[in-house]
Structure 1
């Protein structure tokens, strides 16, 4: 009844009463093996001497890998943290990012076609280990994929982006330049292929205004990625009032 009122387990009270007078808590009265700690420090310094950017997890994995190969018992990762902290071998903590006070109240979608186009790149991993890289250009009004390019290597250079822009302008306006009186924006992130001087020069030559999302604004950038990867690659796209299943050809 007393244990129930106090909210403690009877087994715990029984253990307390059965303890010997010389009992000590091993968690607070732990004896450090300074010799073993010095051996651990020397092993860690030998692993991170050439590349001191390794944290305690990776340094511990390298040390334990060598110890296991020699038939020795590995150390616990908590011990690596304690010893490396005592000898100032831990990496400095990353500075806390200042929260932006900017209000994300902008609207990416527009109410009319050919007012804002958005673009983004993506990679698709294949079963044989190859990677297909692609880039697309989409209208922010009807979400139609106006033009796209794909190739079987990693990386997003500027040439496919510029070629995609030319094809998109020809498809929408039938010319190599946007019609007079049309104010068209080209929205993209801050990737090198989109911010390249050649890309900006071509965009302005085509009569389009280049616009980039803020660096810390995933709310505006992911609109293009979500709508395309979830709606176009995994389903169908609508073009001219009819449903067309896209096919990907790298020839």
Structure 2
């Protein structure tokens, strides 16, 4: 301890007295009795219009009450009692593709999906036809331009020839469903 006292330039008795004293710090959360009076008013304002943030609630409180309220105080109260809005980051939490297709027979409904891969030099667009029973990517087309109705119709014919090559006619009528999550493509 003598080296520490010499380095700090303080008396040794001072350090011993500080070491032996038990410090009582601040409470975990600053709590004012006035906060409990403000909370019902804040809750009522939030229930009237839930889209108001803490700044708008502070402005309305300052109009209602004779004594002004600090926005930081309103923010901490609203945060403590879960009255704040969640921060909007501009995108949904996850991509939702929970579509379930049910058919009575296999190969009755087909669906197409289109997507774009943006490269540094050109846009490449790919379209794949999927059978709803086997979920097999049977045929696809890749183009650097836009997808036209003729390209989609040719792709559908090529897919049917691939799927039913050994048969003279289709087993049942086929319904084509287009997905709108990707590129705009006309329904055929």
State the TM-score, normalized to the length of structure 1: 0.32
Find the structure with the greater CA-based Rg. 2
Higher relative contact order (CA 8 A, sep 6+): 2
State the TM-score, normalized to the length of structure 2: 0.41
